[in-house]
């Protein structure tokens, strides 16, 4: 990745971190309420667009391209979903546990996955 793409990716990762872990900053800076589903839908679109813009400048053979492409496509699929209830399973040492969540919980979970997947597979610079 070039310096410009690394910087852009750092900005996207920072947005994810603020949205997920420092929500008070957004609550005071924006006209969104932290509990509103619209806040997370907006964050989902913002992150998707940021990653899409980075992808447009990366080489297709680049490993970072493959990782960011997977995240971008997954977030695109999430934006198209219209369900009100989402079902998922968590598997741990005690077995499989089935859960349900609403749209807001699903979007939060997918944003957390995106953040973990990006920082776990690509070296991201601190801003």
pLDDT tens figures, 9-62:
999 999 999 999 876 655 555 555 445 788 899 999 999 999 999 999 998 888
115 SS3 class = helix
pLDDT score recorded for residue 43: 94
* 126 found inside a domain: no
Question: In whole angstroms, what is the distance from residue 44 CA to residue 78 CA?
Answer: 9
pLDDT in tens, 48-93: 999 999 999 998 888 999 999 999 999 999 999 999 999 999 999 9
CB 75 within 8 A of CB 48: yes
CB 103 within 8 A of CB 89: no
Q: What are phi and psi of 68, to 5 degrees?
A: -70, -30
Report the domain count for the chain.
1
pLDDT score recorded for residue 35: 58
Closest CA relative to residue 12, chosen from 40, 33, 43: 43
Domain containing residue 113 = 3-121
Output the pTM of the full model.
0.86
């Amino acid at each position: 990745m070039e310096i410009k793409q690394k910087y852009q990716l750092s900005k996207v990762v920072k947005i994810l971190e603020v949205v997920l872990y420092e929500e008070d900053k957004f609550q005071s800076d924006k006209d969104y309420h932290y509990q509103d589903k619209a806040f997370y839908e907006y964050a989902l679109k913002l992150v998707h667009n940021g990653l899409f813009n980075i992808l447009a400048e990366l080489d297709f053979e680049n490993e970072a391209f493959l990782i960011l492409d997977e995240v971008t496509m997954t977030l695109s699929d999430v934006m198209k979903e219209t369900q009100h209830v989402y079902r998922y399973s968590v598997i741990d040492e005690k077995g499989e546990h089935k859960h349900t969540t609403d749209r807001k919980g699903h979007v939060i979970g997918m944003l957390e996955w995106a953040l973990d997947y990006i920082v776990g597979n690509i070296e991201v610079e601190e801003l």
